[in-house]
């Protein structure tokens, strides 16, 4: 995938094992300041099968995270929220 997007091999790293354990260990070993990762929104039946990888990772990494949603993602949450207080 990195090659497809012209990302040099020296800027990639692959650790064996489940991402839920490998990524937090990598963050600690390398004193990472931020983790950028893609996420896919799935409906309920798929969530039961695929799990909540991004949510589990957020609790186990010690740095900031930027989660990128796929093109065309439609949030199930309305933009109309609480009225801002002055």
How do residues 45-84 score in pLDDT, each as one tens digit?
555 544 567 777 888 899 998 888 888 877 777 776 656 6
Q: What is the pTM of this model?
A: 0.64
Q: Determine the pLDDT at residue 18.
A: 87
66-69 — which CB contacts under 8 Å span 24+ positions?
66/34, 66/35, 66/36, 66/37, 67/37, 67/38, 67/39, 68/36, 68/37, 68/38, 68/39, 69/38, 69/39, 69/41
Q: Determine the pLDDT at residue 14.
A: 86
Q: What is the mean pLDDT of the chain?
A: 80
């Amino acid at each position: 995938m990195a090659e497809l997007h012209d990302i040099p091999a020296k800027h990639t790293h692959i650790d064996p094992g489940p991402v839920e354990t490998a990524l937090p260990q990598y963050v600690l070993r390398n004193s990472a300041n931020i983790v950028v990762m893609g996420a896919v929104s799935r409906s309920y039946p798929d969530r039961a099968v695929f799990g909540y990888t991004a949510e589990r990772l957020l609790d186990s990494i010690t740095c900031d995270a930027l989660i990128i949603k796929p093109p065309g993602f439609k949030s199930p949450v309305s933009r109309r929220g609480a009225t801002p207080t002055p």
